[in-house]
Structure 1
């Protein structure tokens, strides 16, 4: 069975991306935000050509949603490419100090470069960039130490480009989440749907729930994925191991037990349980 086709590219994102490419040349620093559960799928394929020689800070948000051992192993994986991500939980403020420190160091480096060229020091321009719903707005509010942008656990809250003056010599550009227009990598698109990083209008929820179960079985032996089949079975009262070769049948059985046979409602419940960590700190992508 093919991965269900997922496509989501609202007009406001298309317009924002067009405007973003126009202003990005005026930016000194890019703060890229990804989702810890899917740090590869939430990396924008066009980012490198956009940022070119600009300062770049990679922030991986929702670190609380995966295990500390998995974070350690991701750090080893990224280090091979000389990448040193900063992990945070923007919702609760964990890891924000390290991000602010890195931004300050970047600002000083840019200031020194300007002074060496005989140019005046000015507030540096930083851009927060990432896919929808990876937590950019929550991160900005934490860095600003006050609510300066709307933040919610759904895609598409930020709809326009907006400059925010911070008190540490940084002007921050808050941009809507940007997604490649075609989402050509459907495996990545599926991961975005599972983590609620794109809206439900983009996909058929039952098909995505079935693919989630397939991913669970594919990754169940990998310690970095942190999957407990017994925890999943206990939560729904149906042994998932007995139906591992037929996820449709397992969904049917748990739907009969919990949603009066309504498979769509059950699919939604399963995905919400994953997103709310009721099934554990499961990583959908693991370092190889």
Structure 2
């Protein structure tokens, strides 16, 4: 398969600016995609933020089952982390993040007071891959639409500070991805979930591998329910070809786009692409 690589110039610039701004930040809100909580983790986040408090947010919880959600909750707990599950689209889970962010601000201002300094709003930054729902989350935290948000990668292009309340200031940063997507399995999942831009990949190759991935995970039944074709004894490539013959006048590109779109919009049901690693 062709390598999936995407590193537009504006992201390189944003990464430099973000590192600069991180010095001024008190708490980091790291947003990941609940369908792929490990693949949507930027490997350098910990290195960048050092010992600053970090809230781990798994967005799009509406797109995974409650059973998988509980499994991830348990797994992260065993890693010493407490994930916050959200659906930024309808605001579910956002109040808990607001409260936790303010909690970090209390500590900051206690330290300031001990040094004879006046209290100030806590400074938070929202970071994560493109299109994991950062801007939608910020708009929910603000209770109004203040930053551009869309279901595609690369909408936020520059860093901007926005005031949530007298207690919190928030930095909205563009999506950041590693300079090289070393792990191609992760890159594939990011492409399937549309968490990297379309210019990075070939739709047909990604759709074929998506079908193969569902078969490997044992969840290929969602394809049969949606398209009336069983993928179990077919390769992803064969599935796309056969479905194109059956329903799409042999147009394989159209089939590929349709399958990816159906997954991204939730038409295949609640489908996770990752499960917690077995310890």
Deviation readout 1:197-242 (Å, 9 max, x if unpaired): 111110011111111111111111xxxxxx2x33421321222224
Shift, 1:119, TM fit: 2.2
Residues 1:262 and 2:251 aligned together: yes
**Residue aligning to 1:241:** 232
Q: Secondary structure at the match of 2:89?
A: coil
Q: Write out aligned runs for 1:118-197 (5 A).
A: 118-197=116-195
Deviation readout 1:92-149 (Å, 9 max, x if unpaired): 1110111111111111121112212322211121110010000000000000011110
Q: Secondary structure at the match of 1:127?
A: strand
Shift, 1:27, TM fit: 0.8
Give me the whole-angstrom Cα distance separating, in 1, the residues matched to 2:16 and 2:269.
39
Shift, 1:254, TM fit: 0.5
| Structure 1 outlier segments of 4+, above 3 Å | none
Q: 1:242 to 1:184 in 2, by over 3 A?
A: closer
CA contact (8 A) 2:210 2:236 kept: no
Two-structure CA RMSD over aligned residues (Å):
1.2
CA contact (8 A) 2:39 2:186 kept: yes
Give me the whole-angstrom Cα distance separating, in 2, the residues matched to 1:179 and 1:283.
21
Q: Write out aligned runs for 1:1-288 (5 A).
A: 3-220=1-218, 227=219, 229-243=220-234, 246-288=235-277
Shift, 1:20, TM fit: 1.0
Q: Secondary structure at the match of 2:215?
A: helix
CA contact (8 A) 2:26 2:104 kept: no
User: Number of residues paired by the alignment?
Assistant: 277
Give me the whole-angstrom Cα distance separating, in 2, the residues matched to 1:231 and 1:140.
33
Shift, 1:22, TM fit: 1.4
Query: Relative to structure 2, which stretch is displaced further, 134-143 or 234-243?
Result: 234-243
Query: Relative to structure 2, which stretch is displaced further, 133-142 or 258-267?
Result: 258-267
Structure 2 residues without counterparts, runs of 5 or longer: none
Give me the whole-angstrom Cα distance separating, in 2, the residues matched to 1:131 and 1:148.
20
CA contact (8 A) 1:4 1:208 kept: no
Q: Secondary structure at the match of 1:49?
A: helix
Structure 1 residues without counterparts, runs of 5 or longer: 221-226
TM-score of the two chains, using structure 2 as the length reference: 0.96
